[in-house]
Amino acid sequence: MSDDATLDEDAVGTAGDDAPAFEAARYPDGSITYPAHPVGPGGEAPVGTVDLSEHTAEVITWTTSTATPPGVREPNHVAVVEFDVDGEPVRAIGQATTGDIDIGDEVEPVYCEKLRDPEAGIRHPDSQEWDGFRFRPVE
């Protein structure tokens, strides 16, 4: 879809910039998961949420895909990151805004109105949400 120079064009900022929450679930045993699940690691339902967009994360690993599905930018940089929320590790996977990242780098989630082109896929554009979060290196 585009090169690294324009990968961040749909990023509109972090929490507080009218972006939706990047919600993880908190469970009675203190564990936090992303995405949220109806039953947590301790076997109980969630008791609340945590907005991960208010936190930074560490890159655990990352890769670049050059053979992407229709409508997904190419190259597509994807990272597994780990947030530390009150001493609880929370891992997430998602697009990175750049391929200029390394294991151990600090990143922040940034909201993107369009993670992929809804017109390029086989699904009807109104059939699902196309927004989400990417991970941008903290400078």
Q: How far is CA 45 from CA 39, 42, 73, 86, 137, in A?
A: 5, 9, 36, 20, 33
The pLDDT of residue 128: 63
Q: Which of the residues in the chain have pLDDT under 70?
A: 1-17, 117-121, 123-130
Token pair of 59, please? 């890159």
d(CA 24, CA 34): 5
The pLDDT of residue 74: 83
Instruction: Quickly count: other Cβ atoms within 10 Å of residue 139's Cβ.
Output: 5
The pLDDT of residue 18: 75
Paired residues of 100 in beta bridges: none
pTM of the model: 0.81
The pLDDT of residue 66: 92
Secondary structure (3-state) at 18: coil
Whether 52 and 19 have beta carbons less than 8 Å apart is answered as no
